[in-house]
Amino acid sequence: MATTTKAVGDLFDLIERKPDLLVDADLTVERDGVAFTVRGYDDLVAVDLPSFGAAFALWRDRMVGGPDAAAALAAAGLTAEIRVRGAPVARLGTDAVPSSLAKRLGLGPIQLFLDGALLAVTPRRG
């Protein structure tokens, strides 16, 4: 764990010495047979997953903890928005307003969108 902490600390030191990042990306990523998109719009990186199962798997297997990821994004001037089926369900980084529910759940400084979660689980017509 000390290696990870040192690596994250080194990353923060490096990022804080640089100007804010701008991201321009339009990717389709496949992980464990599940495809999802990553799109960058200047200081927003949107990760759109096909299901909550895919979102939970990605969160569970992350290399950096939620608080560290949020801090790294904020230090770089970036915001990540997690979407499920196009509906925003969580945001972390610069423009996130951490929710008390996320803190109580131990997720760290993450903004949760309950209305987005409801949209994500609602069956689509047509």
Q: What is the DSSP track for 55-74?
A: HHHHHHT-SS-HHHHHHHHH
Q: How confident is the model at residue 38 (pLDDT cuts 50, 70, 90)?
A: very high
Is the predicted pLDDT of residue 99 greater than 70, yes or no? yes
Residue-wise pLDDT for 42-68, tens only, equals 899 999 999 998 988 887 887 776 678
CA angle, 78 then 54 then 125, to 5°: 100
Residue 89 CA to residue 51 CA, distance in Å, equals: 11
Residue 5 CA to residue 110 CA, distance in Å, equals: 20
9 versus 84: which is more confidently predicted? 84
121 versus 1: which is more confidently predicted? 121
Q: pTM for this one?
A: 0.77
Is the predicted pLDDT of residue 5 greater than 60, yes or no? no
Residue-wise pLDDT for 6-27, tens only, equals 666 676 666 666 667 788 889 9
Q: What is the pLDDT of residue 19?
A: 63
Average pLDDT along the chain:
83
Q: What is the pLDDT of residue 1?
A: 46
